[in-house]
Structure 1
Amino acid sequence: MQEALEDEYFAAKLIFSDEATFHLSGKVNRHNVRLWGTENSRAIVALERDSPKRNVFCAISQTKLYGPFFFCEKTVTGTSYLDMLQLWLFPKLAADSGDFVFQQDGAPPHWNINLRRYLNNELRHRWIGRVGEDGVALFTWPPRSPDLTPCDFFLWGYIKDRVYVAPLPRTVVELRERIDAAVMTIDRMMLQNVWNELDYHLDVCRVTQGAHIEHL
């Protein structure tokens, strides 16, 4: 990936993507946020059970953020994810440039057989992700790599810092409005800085040979 990103034309084609869950109660999705400490705090935090939530998708390029897209379903499935790609994201990407490289992580909805067939047919050697025996991806993606995508190391933390401020949103509609407003504050200069940070994250992973990294 680092070698490929040395080509500025490849960097301009690359689209990272991810989903995150926003709970009305302020509960943070453990898959998008990592908290590190030198010792066990032994603290107990009470959280509302089955708090209303919205599942949100975004994609990010070197110069543009696509989204947010709000899934109607309580749980993102392979079918709903594929529908979103076909009907919402890929038409937007094609309108900007038909020559793009799409990245996704190894989340269960992304492993749907129909989805992988679609990516193999429509984006042959132009997608990055978890690959099966018959996959024709450009690269495979590490199965546990939350610090390698701009969505994880920048986007979701940035948005949640602006959504979950006192007083917390009282309704799902207000939650969605705050997410929209937070996304609107991300400009082209911020995205360029994030892209520069990406190379650093990749380099740390390379130097440690993929070992566990507590913080960057």
Structure 2
Amino acid sequence: MATGAEKAYVVLEMISHQSVITVQRHLRTKFSKDPPTANSIPRWYAQFKASGCLCKGKSTGRPAVSEETVERVRASFTRSPRKSTNKANRELNVPQPTVWKILRKRLKQKPYRLQLLQALTPDDKVKRFEFSARLQQLVEEDAFSAKLVFSDEATFFLSGEVNRHNVRIWPVENPHAFVQQIRNSPKVNVFCAISRFKVYGPFFFCEKNVTAHVYLNMLENWLTPQLETDSADFIFQQDGAPPHFHHDVRHFLNRRLENRWIGRGGDHDQQFMSRPPRSPDLTPCDFFLWGYVKDSVFKPPLPRNVPELRARINDAFELIDGDMLRRVWEELDYRLDVCRITKGAHIEHL
């Protein structure tokens, strides 16, 4: 491809000599390269005479997409917003890349992935509304907010987690990369409790499975003594997992924390209030803690053994400071407010 300097030289030589062959000979000598074709030289000269410029004209490119086509695409996705661009291509006889560009550039729409949420019954929504309304009213008082202690367990697999849908590799050729899935990967079960000022944990269960008696042993000998050392007046929250609902666990809570625990209980339990089922979006451990810790733990390269996995978990917990806890409590208040306003609807998308 000729440069601008070469084209300018061609024009000047054509003005002087009016001979394509002479211009080709001179250009070969000056630039030490093969000259342009006999068709290009007179074309450049004629272009310069006509426009006074040797710039390349703007290409006509592909024909513009008509407003009619844009409206057809808009109407099609308004009727069926979950339709694929390939299906729209077949229905509208519009190329799939064109459908995609219309949606993204002309209509300013984006493809959002569906979220899997736990199904809520009408009764669940009533309980979530009542819980959020009452707890939000109480949390607005600093004295009560300081009493709350949320808790939860999580399982960390040594193999980590890889989301194939979000992982992409962009080489020139297909590298045929793969991820080996390890069945029955070694794991650790971790417990943690979190207040507005402090994180209790992590506590690593030695047992492979967390049964009611394993959980009760941790409550009696590890968590409760720490909580009672820090404050004589706290309110403990747990979710409705089967080990937590065991008679022996509830008997301990009724006896040791009478009217000072939140969770799933029976008619005769001495709870402060009942926790609504299927509501991880209202618990700081679920909407903040475990996601934060797992993002820190499973950064490549993945841990090679269980001791290294435990060390990474400990390191992640060490990074949680008072400012983070303050923002988590602000987020809790916001979520309670949204749940109250929406009458107990899902807010896990927040």
- Say whether the fold is shared (TM-score over 0.5): yes
Counterpart in the other structure of 1:198: 332
**Residue in 2 that maps onto 1:168:** 302
- 2:256 is matched with which residue? 122
Q: 2:315 is matched with which residue: 181, 194, 211?
A: 181
Instruction: String of CA shifts for 1:83-115, please: whole Å, max 9, x gaps.
Output: 001100011111111111000000111011000
Q: Which has the larger radius of gyration?
A: 2
More strand by share: 1
1:100 maps onto 2:234 in alignment: yes
Distance 1:17 1:214, change over 3 A: closer
User: What CA RMSD, in Å, does the superposition of the two structures yield over aligned residues?
Assistant: 1.5
Answer yes or no: is the 8 Å Cα contact 1:128–1:139 preserved in 2. Answer: yes
Quick one: which amino acid aligns to residue 62 of structure 1?
A: R
Secondary structure in structure 1 of the residue aligned to 2:159: coil
CA contact (8 A) 1:14 1:101 kept: yes
Structure 2 counterparts to residues 135-150 of structure 1, below 5 A? 135-150=269-284
Distance in 2 of aligned mates of 1:185 and 1:211? 33
Are the counterparts in 2 of residues 27 and 47 from structure 1 also a CA contact under 8 Å? Answer: no
The match for 2:193 among 46, 49, 59 is 59
**Which residue among 124, 135, 144 is the counterpart of 1:10?**
144
Deviations 1:168-197 (A, max 9, x none): 001000000000000000011110111011
* TM-aligned CA deviation for residue 214 of structure 1: 4.8
Question: Counterpart of 1:147 in 2: which secondary structure?
Answer: helix
Alignment match, 1:81: 215
Amino acid at match of 2:189: N
Q: Which residue of 1 aligns with 2:55?
A: none
Percent identical: 63
Name the aligned partner's letter for residue 163 of structure 1: V
Cα distance in 2 for partners of 1:87, 1:214 equals: 34
For 1:47 and 1:209, the matched residues in 2 are separated by 41
1:19 aligns with 2:166: no
Matched residue count: 201
Whether the aligned pair in 2 keeps the contact of 1:120 and 1:135 (CA below 8 Å) is: yes
Q: Tell me what 2:42 maps to.
A: none
Measure, in 2, the Cα distance between the counterparts of 1:18 and 1:2: 20
Query: In 1, distance between residues paired with 2:337 and 2:183?
Result: 40
Shift of 1:212: 2.8
**Relative to total residues, which structure has the larger helix share, 1 or 2?**
2
Corresponding letter in the other structure for 2:156: F
Which residue of structure 2 aligns with residue 42 of structure 1?
A: none
Give the TM-score of the pair, scaled to structure 1: 0.90
Does the Cα contact within 8 Å between 2:161 and 2:298 map onto a contact in 1? no
- Measured after TM superposition, the shift of residue 134 of structure 1 is 1.0
1:16 touches 1:104 (CA, 8 Å); kept in 2?
yes
Displacement, 1:27?
Answer: 3.6
Structure 2: distance between partners of 1:212 and 1:15 = 23
Task: Provide runs of 4+ in structure 1 moved above 6 Å.
Answer: none
**Which of these residues, 170, 178, 183, is aligned with residue 49 of structure 1?**
183
Higher relative contact order (CA 8 A, sep 6+): 1
CA shift, 1:46, in A, is 6.4
TM-score of the two chains, using structure 2 as the length reference: 0.56
Aligned twin of 1:70: 204
